[in-house]
Chains A and B, each alone.
Chain A
Amino acid sequence: MSTIVLLTLTGLGLAGLYFLIAAGLSLVFGLADVLNFAHGWFLTVGAYAAYWAIPRVGFAGGVLVAVLAGAATAALVELVMIRPLYQRTISQVLVTVGLSLAGVALFQALFSPDARTFPSPSWTEGVVTVLGARVPVKSLVLVVGAVVVLAALLAFLRWTRYGLIIRAGVENREMVTALGIDVRKAFTLVFAIGGAAAGLAGALSGIAFQSIAPSGGSSLLIFAFIVVVIGGMGSITGSAVAAVAVGLLQQFVNYYGSAGMGDLCAVALLAAVLLLRPQGIAGKVAS
């Protein structure tokens, strides 16, 4: 029983990390039709920003710096590199793939390609007992971080004018424009929100893995893409459900099967969803 509880909570922690990356990716694709392969780099920016800031301003301040760095980087990327390329899908893919590669190279040059020990506060390295299982605090931190971001995003989408614009834009961007709304401002905002969540994921991944590396964001991005497709492009709730499914599946299969089988099962789940429900759990039907 305690093993099940442990696997469930660590699986939910992994799901939290996936959700934090996938949320922005999903909103950006749903609203702006941009498949952003540089999104993982925003996580790396957040991770290194936290790595730099935590010893200087403490844990909470460091996490805040990571969030702001992710948001600012994402907004800048949208304004400078993506905005001139709307309607040019292939160019967007090339630019964002190029940026993700160049971004990794930049951090390798600045901090060396080797992983660095993350300055986690000591309280995140302990364990707590939940229903007889000794659960790492870092997993619970990821769960709490993801739940807070999920609630904040849902409240933002539900209660604010820009949230309304984003929800409408995911359905029909052209019609939003035809109501007199400059949807490009919403694009920048969505990039910034996604970058903030990825920046937070960067800081929390440092705690979870106890180290950071320049390629950390890129290696997590593939699972975020799987979550986004399973959850449905543009759906935050769908991403949350899909992240839980993928996180738990990986954790249980890796424990009861052999190591690496969980990743394979996540890809198999993706294939099954694409075959049976191509729009994902809660996504819009492609038109």
Chain B
Amino acid sequence: MSLLSVRDLVVTLSGLRILHGVSFEAAESGVTVLLGRNGAGKTTTLRAILGLAPATGSVELAGEPVLGTRTHALVRRGLGYVPEDRCVFAGLTVAENLRLAERGTPDYDLVFGLFPELRKRSAQRAGSLSGGQQQMLSLGRVLLNDNRLLLVDEPTKGLAPKVVTEVAEALERVAERVPVLLVEQNLAVVRRLGRAAVVLAAGRVAWRGDAKELLGDHDRTKSLLGVGSHS
């Protein structure tokens, strides 16, 4: 069963067509990975789903059409977003970043259970956190609330290998509770987390299927992603 259904998604920015009719589905459990080379349209796809990029086509969340819904309303309907480059509010403290994200009854036990570092640093300005800590904060903000689906954009980008492992572990635990649509370039993380995979190339879906199957085929991975599946 699919939780999110994307059909013929077209995005044009500044006269340049970025997505040319992307269609795929995200499963209602586990991690669906959105893969592709740089510029393939992965981030734009997430942004279009969330209403942050103007798009045509159709997006359905649990059977309900959501394309055209304003972003804040969509988030309140259960679409959590962890953006590329973390986007923490640098001038606010960790506690204020979390407080800002609160909706309804926030689950601080879950967030501090996954990321105990955030509790220790609650009075620290988010801008002075390391990249890994900022990523934890970015994930923590979303996990405070009940979500039906998380859209997570390159959470391991620019992080040290040890931190990548920590973030992957956290995502693995998160995915036990809520399905995730994950954009990720790190194939080790994809191998660990991914169940279904969708590969974009030049704004189109080039392949979709089982993530393990894709990564098990070195030649296909190389041709679609430009890197070998052993990397």
A residues adjacent to B (C-beta < 8 A) = 161, 164-165, 167-168, 171-172, 174-183
Q: Is the CB of A165 within 8 A of B87?
A: no
B residues adjacent to A (C-beta < 8 A) = 50, 52, 70-73, 75-76, 81, 83, 87, 89-92, 96-97, 99-101, 103, 141, 145
Q: Which of B70, B83, B99, B103 is the one whose CB lies under 8 Å from A175?
A: B83
| Chain A residues near B92 (CB-CB < 8 A) | 164, 167-168, 171
A176 to B70, CA, bound (A): 13
Q: How far is the CB of A169 from chain B (nearest CB, A)?
A: 9
Q: How far is the CB of B80 from chain A (nearest CB, A)?
A: 9
| Chain B residues near A180 (CB-CB < 8 A) | 72, 75-76, 101, 103, 145
Q: Which of B72, B73, B96 is the one whose CB lies under 8 Å from A164?
A: B96
Q: Is the CB of B72 within 8 A of A183?
A: yes
| Chain B residues near A181 (CB-CB < 8 A) | 72, 100
Q: Is the CB of B75 within 8 A of A175?
A: no
Q: Is the CB of B52 within 8 A of A174?
A: yes
| Chain A residues near B52 (CB-CB < 8 A) | 174, 177-178
| Chain A residues near B141 (CB-CB < 8 A) | 179
Q: Is the CB of A175 within 8 A of B71?
A: no
Q: How far is the CB of A207 from chain B (nearest CB, A)?
A: 36
A99 to B97, CA, bound (A): 37
Q: Is the CB of B90 within 8 A of A179?
A: no
Taking A164-B96, A171-B91, A177-B70 as known contacts, 19 extra A-B pairs with beta carbons closer than 8 A to each other, sorted by chain A number, are: A164-B92, A164-B100, A165-B100, A167-B92, A168-B97, A168-B100, A171-B92, A175-B87, A175-B89, A176-B100, A177-B71, A177-B72, A178-B50, A178-B72, A178-B87, A180-B75, A180-B76, A180-B145, A183-B72
CB within 8 Å for A172 and B89 given contacts A177-B72, A179-B75, A180-B75: yes
A50 to B23, CA, bound (A): 61
